[in-house]
Amino acid sequence: MTRFKDRVLLLTGAGSGIGRATALKLAAEGASIFISDIVPEALEETVKLAQEVADDDAQIEARVCDISDEEQAENSVAACVEHFGRLDTLCNNAGVLGYQNTHEMSLAFWRRILSVNLDGAFLMTREAIPHLLETRGSIVNIGSTAGLSGLAYGSAYSASKGAIHAFTRAVAVEYADRGLRANSISPASIETGMTKPTPMPEGANLALFQRLTSLHGVAEPGAVADLVLFLASDAAHHISGEEIRIDGAALA
């Protein structure tokens, strides 16, 4: 398949997990991709892997970027458009997760989670919209089931992802008459860095997480990447403002 031949997609958080899987699938379908991550070594590995599977038409450019930094976000979008001449899809995938008791949570911890997950997505979106309006393009935001249902010890993360869903809907409505689409995806039980053991508050009750467990086991990041590609493709031309869960019936 070459659904993305002559299409330019900008993808954040491409150094691992869902971001890496998405980059590889896009490269295999002939897309021109501009990928970013805050970890240089991880980004380099993604570029290497993408080059190995890339279709002949694919082009790959990479840039180390902290999307929570306004100047870096601005420069990243500008560099993408300067290099490729256009932008068809923005995928806001970069994110961080941390667990703390809410009553013991520092403001610095709270702000760090929201600065990446929410502020970063806003900054990238703000800079990308003028270019996406020219191409009648699309935005795919990676949210979380934590933004749809409570996550114990993850109030900052839940707040950031709930806001992402609301932000996506607002953008979808605001620019609908100008041809721009925006959708969000809510993954859960996906084998990524976020699903690996993460420090928990002392005395945390892990039973509180059981209700968020997939009934179909844990899926590979490629399952989410497939959905990202669908939403970015012409096949999804009439889908906008949606929150789509991919969680193995965890919240069904």
3-state secondary structure of 225: helix
Residue 89: which CATH number? 3.40.50.720
Domain, as residue range, for 99: 8-246
**β-strand pairing of 243-246 with 181-187:** parallel
The answer, yes or no, to whether residue 57 has pLDDT greater than 80, is yes
Residue 1: inside a domain:
no
Residue 2: inside a domain:
no
Query: Residue 38 falls within a domain, yes or no?
Result: yes
Residue 252 lies in a domain: no
pLDDT tens across 213-234, in order?
Answer: 788 889 999 999 999 999 999 9
Yes or no: say if 222 and 53 are a contact pair by the CB < 8 Å rule. Answer: no
Is 179 a member of any domain? Answer: yes
Q: Tell me which residue of 123, 129, 229, 117 sits closest to 162, measured CA to CA.
A: 117
Catalytic machinery residues:
157
Is residue 71 a part of any domain in this protein?
A: yes
Q: Looking at the domain assignment, is residue 164 inside a domain?
A: yes
Q: What is the C-alpha separation between 190 and 19, in angstroms, rounded?
A: 12
Calculate the average pLDDT of the chain: 96
Question: CB atoms < 10 A from the CB of 3, how many?
Answer: 15
Whole-prediction pTM: 0.95
Cα distance from N-terminal residue to C-terminal residue, the chain: 32
Number of domains in the chain: 1
**Predicted confidence (pLDDT) per residue in 187-201, tens digit:** 998 998 766 678 999
pLDDT digits (tens, 9 = 90+) for 32-41: 999 999 999 9
Angle in degrees, 0-180, between the axes of helices 17-28 and 221-232, rounded to the nearest 10: 50
Is residue 251 situated within a structural domain? no
